[in-house]
Amino acid sequence: MSRAAEALRARLGERRPRIAMILGSGLGPLGDRVEDALRIPFAEIPGFPLSAVSGHSGTLIAGRLAGVEVLVLSGRVHFYERGDAAAMRPAIEALAALGVEVLVLTNAAGSLREDMPPGSVMLIEDHIAFAGANPLIGEPSDRRFVGMTAAYDADLRDAFKAAAERIGEPVHAGVYMWFSGPSFETPAEIRMARTLGADAVGMSTVPETILARFCGLRVLAASVVTNYGAGMTGAELSHDETKEMAPKGGARLARVLSAFLPEIDPS
Ligand code: HPA
């Protein structure tokens, strides 16, 4: 067991969460809704990555959401922070070592579809890793050849859609394309992304999905749309806009996740 996992095992006591979540921009308030919460700053967990991106505080929260025991990672480290696609590996390996079986990933994203405006929620059905990096580069074992045919678990996707329908919250579904950032895309890149079959673009999640599959975790991922892709409206993109718009779709996604969590059968 890694030092991170050992430290967390000691701090978590009798808690045995089988579901973990990584909260992206705008989903922070979901962390505030965790009941019976034990909060551990990433800085207190040996080996955990520390992010300096505004809007991404690094805290692990153990407790219950919608009655379900969860581990919530509020904040993540992005590839663009130091060029390390494996930055989240110690955290995801620790989750797996603690017995977590399902990882729920959330992010803010730009929409490539006119019918998916800012404020929408998009369930990620598949991805395109366009950043030219992979978190498993350098991994020496044959375990590095991870199959990605079913990266986003079909049963979890069905459960997510069913939960959204049950509470009357519309959700889109599509392909997320990972750009490295931190600069936003150009209009030409957005046209390319559309041509290549993407529905949304963003700067996170894909390396975490690859790491989670490497660790044998099932993945459910969803985006909160904060803007249309560059050039689709003529407006310039900014991180301030992302932070300003994320809470709208974030509240929506939080409602769907609250309905979805009790439906998950982790094993
Ligand atoms: N591009 C990349 N990442 C993003 C965007 C975008 O338009 N919006 C929010 N995150």
- Domains, the chain, in order of start with CATH, read 3-264 (3.40.50.1580)
Contacts of 155 (CB under 8 A, 6+ apart): none
Residue 98: other Cβ atoms inside 10 A: 21
- Centroid of ligand 1 to alpha carbon of 226 (angstroms): 7
Q: Which residue, 264, 253, 254, 261, is CA-closest to 32?
A: 254
Query: Which pLDDT score is estimated for 207?
Result: 98
Contact 212, 219 (CB under 8 A): yes
Contact 221, 106 (CB under 8 A): yes
Q: What angle do CA 77, 101, 131 make, to 5 degrees?
A: 35
Beta bridge partners of 41: 59
Contacts of 128 (CB under 8 A, 6+ apart): 175, 176, 177, 178, 193, 196, 197, 198
- Centroid of ligand 1 to alpha carbon of 240 (angstroms): 11
pTM of the model: 0.96
Query: Which pLDDT score is estimated for 238?
Result: 86
- Centroid of ligand 1 to alpha carbon of 127 (angstroms): 15
Query: Which pLDDT score is estimated for 54?
Result: 59
Residue 244: other Cβ atoms inside 10 A: 14
Is residue 247 within 6 Å of ligand 1 at its C-beta?
no
Is residue 203 within 6 Å of ligand 1 at its C-beta?
yes
Beta bridge partners of 223: 107, 122
Is residue 118 within 6 Å of ligand 1 at its C-beta?
no
Query: Which pLDDT score is estimated for 60?
Result: 95
Query: Which pLDDT score is estimated for 50?
Result: 84
Is residue 108 within 6 Å of ligand 1 at its C-beta?
yes
Contact 126, 44 (CB under 8 A): no
Task: List, run by run, the mean pLDDT of 10-residue segments along the chain (267 residues).
Answer: 92 95 86 93 90 71 96 93 94 97 97 97 98 97 97 98 97 98 97 98 98 98 97 89 86 95 82
Q: Which amino acid is at 74?
A: S
Is residue 229 within 6 Å of ligand 1 at its C-beta?
yes
**Residue with CA nearest ligand 1 atom 2:** 202
Is residue 110 within 6 Å of ligand 1 at its C-beta?
yes
